[in-house]
Amino acid sequence: GQQVMQIPQYQHVQEGEDFTTYCNSSTTLSNIQWYKQRPGGHPVFLIQLVKSGEVKKQKRLTFQFGEAKKNSSLHITATQTTDVGTYFCAIGNEKLTFGTGTRLTIIP
Amino acid sequence: KAGVTQTPRYLIKTRGQQVTLSCSPISGHRSVSWYQQTPGQGLQFLFEYFSETQRNKGNFPGRFSGRQFSNSRSEMNVSTLELGDSALYLCASSLSVPVEGYTFGSGTRLTVV
C-alpha cells in the first residue's frame, strides 16, 4: 500500500519561532490530511488538501500540497505554547495511512 | 454535537485473556475505523466498517476482530492477548466520504501484563 515519509521526527523551537513539518510520498496522492495530537490526547483533524498546488491557511498555520501531489507541508508562524503536540499527515480515504509524526516542543 | 465515545478509557488485562472495546460514533456518521497507536509503530489502521460491513482491514493477525451494529456503534475484540498488544486503541468516525476528516475518540489505553 501507499506509504508516506514525514520529517523531522522532532522539532524543538523557541516560542515565537516558526515550525515546518514535511510529508513525502513516492506515488501521486489523491488527497492528504493533517492531524494534531496533544500530549496525552487523541488526533484532531486540521485540514484536508485535494488540489495540486493547493495552499490553505488557518490563522498561523499554512498547509501546502505539492504541484505533483506527492508532498505536503505544514508551517506554523510564530509558535505559541498551545502549538505543542505531534503533527501527523495521513493519506487515503476509508483507510488512513499516517506518517510517523513530528513532535513539536516549545521552549518558553 | 457529542463526540466519539470510547469505553472503557483504561484497561489492564493478563496475557491470554480477551478484551472487547466499544465505540459510539458521532450521530449520523456511518463509517467507523479503528487504529492502534504505540510508541514504536505509530498509528496503524486496524479495520473500517460502514453500514455493518467491514470495508477495509489492516495487517493485523486474526486475533483482532470487530463488528458494527445497525446503530453504527462498533466493537473491537482482541483474543489471546499478548504483551505487544499494549497500546492506545483509537476509534474514529466520519461521513461516508470523509471530506471533513475523521473525528477520533479519546481512546482506550490497554495494558497487557
pLDDT at B96: 67
Give the A:B interface size as CB pairs under 8 Å.
55
Residue type, position A53, single letter: G
Q: What value does the mean pLDDT of chain B take?
A: 94
Nearest to A36 by CA among A108, A99, A106, A107: A99
- Residue with cell string 463488528: B67
Task: Indicate the residue of A48, A88, A94 with minimum beta-carbon distance to B31.
Answer: A94
pLDDT > 70 in chain A, percent: 100
- Residues 77-106 (B) with a CB less than 8 A from some CB of A: 90, 92, 97-106
Identify the weakest region by mean pLDDT among A70-79, A93-102, B78-87.
A93-102
Buried b (16+ CB within 10 A) or exposed e, A63-98: bbbbeebbbbbbebeebeeebebbbbbbbbebbbbb
Which chain A residues are within 8 Å of B48, Cβ to Cβ? 94-95
A37 min Cα distance to partner chain B (Å): 10
What phi-psi label fits residue A50: left (phi over 0), alpha (psi between -120 and 50 degrees) or beta? Answer: alpha
Mean of pLDDT values over B35-63 = 95
What phi-psi label fits residue B110: left (phi over 0), alpha (psi between -120 and 50 degrees) or beta? Answer: beta
